[in-house]
Structures are given as structure tokens and as C-alpha cells.
Amino acid sequence: MTTITLSQTIATVPGRIYELSFAFAARPGSHGNQTLHVEVGGETLFSQEQLLHTGALEYATVIFEAQQRETTMTFSDLGLGNTLGTLLNDIQVLDVTDAHMQ
């Protein structure tokens, strides 16, 4: 069950390599399972269950190759529908094609 989904479509160049980084955490004081699921261009690139309830941010980075002129990134909280969804912060997308060509 999805409790909330956030999506954004960004301009991309087909064939270019991008790095998506973000910070996340289970909401402090919440109970039960919180799961973060991330899709880029309809493909699951990150999924973590049983987020720690410490309140401390964890950081993740995923790499993807753009297939189209626009790419949609979707962040979904798949935990319990308890109004205490996953915290999400510091989302960044960088074109890292040149770094991967070396």
C-alpha cells in the first residue's frame, strides 16, 4: 500500500548519465514499518524496507541513463497509512556523463 507518492519530471538528454542523490529517514517517534521506494523513468532504482526509527538521515545515490528528453522521478512511502510518512530531503540530480566516460 502506498501512503504518499511525490513525483517530478525533469528535462534530460537521451544517452546522458545522471546521478540522483537524496536523504531520507523514518519519521522520529513513528511506529511500524516505513519503506521508501524510488523509481526513475518507471524503473525501480532504490527500495529500502524497515527504515530505522532513529531520526538520523541516511543518504543514497543512484545512477541512471536518460532514455528520453524528460525523466520522471517518483518517491513513494510504502509504509503504514498512519500520517507519519518517510522524511525526504536534499534531492539533487547531476549530469555525470563526463565523469563516467573517463
**How far is it, in rounded angstroms, from Cα 101 to Cα 88?**
31
CA 50 to chain centre: 16
19 to each of 48, 51, 63, 99, how far by Cα in Å?
18, 22, 5, 11
**Of 100 and 44, more confident:** 44
> Residues 1-20: pLDDT tens digits?
557 889 999 999 999 999 99
Q: Please check whether residue 6 is in contact with residue 85, taking contact to mean a CB–CB distance below 8 angstroms.
A: no
pTM score, two decimals?
0.86
DSSP 12-26: --TT-EEEEEEEEEP
